[in-house]
Structures are given as C-alpha cells and as structure tokens.
Amino acid sequence: MPSESEHITCVTAENKAVVRRLLEEVLGRGQLKLLPALVAPDYVGHLAMGDHYGPAGVRIDVTTYRVAFPDLTVTLEMLLADGDLVARCYTVRGTHQGAFLGSPASGRPVFLLGLAIDRLERGQLVESWVRIDGLPR
C-alpha cells in the first residue's frame, strides 16, 4: 500500500499530465475531442474575456485562439504542482490572421505569454485562473 506522500506524488504527476495534455494536444494541436476527458462539466475558467464554463467554454477559448492564429504553436515553459493545484507558464506564437478579443487581424507575428493556475479534482480541471500578456492591440 502506498504511503500518503507517494499517493500525493502520484496525484500531482497525474494532474500535471492533464494540464500538459490540455496545452499541447488541445490548444497546440486542436484536438477538441479530448475536452470531455480533461475538463469537468462544472469547470469554471476565469479569463480576461470573461468566465467560461465546462468543456464547451474551453472549446470556445481554444477555437478563438486557433482561428485568430491558424499557425499557432504552444510551448510549455514551466509546470509546477502542489496537491490539486498546477501552475503553468507557456508561450503562444502565431500570425494574427483573424479577429482576437476585439482586435482585427493584423497579419503580424504575435508572441503571448500565459500564466495560469489550474485546480483539478478526480483527474479533471475544475477551475482555472488565466492571464495572458502581449495581446494584440
């Protein structure tokens, strides 16, 4: 039987893996079909553009990015976890080809820095606080 510290280490690693998949596979590659497995139905995402709810809310957020920046690439810079919380620092790069948060397409390269804290339960995201710096103006 695993000790309590071994159990916490295992849960922490599992939580980090969920967040990594969300960034790399869903946002980075557009694999939206993974959302129901990664995001809880009662999920709340606190974003600059307003709160998003459930897998459908994350789908809206991801689609917004992928339409605005069709050549989007995501790089996970840092991933830290403590219990049910995972902190992530990531960059998003792409060419601004579509409207994004009220800014019309500029055709210019964009570099965004994202910082987020995610809370997970039972292997799914249940709440996120996300901040993005470098938004097109």
Q: What stretches in the chain show pLDDT beneath 50?
A: 7
3-state secondary structure the chain: CCCHHHHHHHHHHHHHHHHHHHHHHHHCCCCHHHHHHHEEEEEEEEECCEEEEHHHHHHHHHHHHHHHCCCCEEEEEEEEEECCEEEEEEEEEEECCCCECCECCCCCEEEEEEEEEEEEECCEEEEEEEEEECCCC
Q: What does the pLDDT read at residue 18?
A: 98
Q: What does the pLDDT read at residue 74?
A: 97
pLDDT digit string, tens, across residues 28-44: 999 999 999 999 999 99
Domains and their CATH numbers in the chain: 4-133 (3.10.450.50)
Q: What does the pLDDT read at residue 136?
A: 62
Q: What does the pLDDT read at residue 9?
A: 61
